[in-house]
Amino acid sequence: NAGVMQNPRHLVRRRGQEARLRCSPMKGHSHVYWYRQLPEEGLKFMVYLQKENIIDESGMPKERFSAEFPKEGPSILRIQQVVRGDSAAYFCASSPASYNEQFFGPGTRLTVL
């Protein structure tokens, strides 16, 4: 059973460009969570999605950030007009249902030049 997959693993963008991060949950998992981790810090919740629905986006900045989890295909976290402060590791986790353990993907390390 393949784990949570994320790509790309490393992404370099210049200020003002767009970043698209992809997450494919584990087989049988329909719940996806995105977390951000700044260097030497803990994980911060951003958004929780189920297929085609955003359930909780309370941790996501109101501007420039958006997330989706379409019926077919991976979940996408999109950051428009990136700034240096967006540089971080972005992890996605999946679970078969809410109330269950969450399994993390390997993360995408975004560097904004």
Partner 1 sequence: QQPVQSPQAVILREGEDAVINCSSSKALYSVHWYRQKHGEAPVFLMILLKGGEQKGHDKISASFNEKKQQSSLYLTASQLSYSGTYFCGTSEYGNKLVFGAGTILRVKS
Per CB under 8 A, residues contacting partner 1 are 31, 33, 35, 41-45, 48, 55-56, 58-59, 91, 98-107
Question: Using H for helix, E for strand and C for coil, what is the string for 20-57?
Answer: EEEEECCCCCCEEEEEEECCCCCEEEEEEEECCEEEEC
Closest contact distance (angstroms) between CB of 103 and partner 1 is: 6
Residue 17 or 43: which CB sits closer to partner 1? Answer: 43
Closest contact distance (angstroms) between CB of 60 and partner 1 is: 11
Name the phi and psi angles at 85, rounded to 5: -65, -10
Residue 45 or 66: which CB sits closer to partner 1? Answer: 45
Per the listing, tokens 């955003």 go with 54
Residue 101 DSSP code = -
Closest contact distance (angstroms) between CB of 85 and partner 1 is: 20
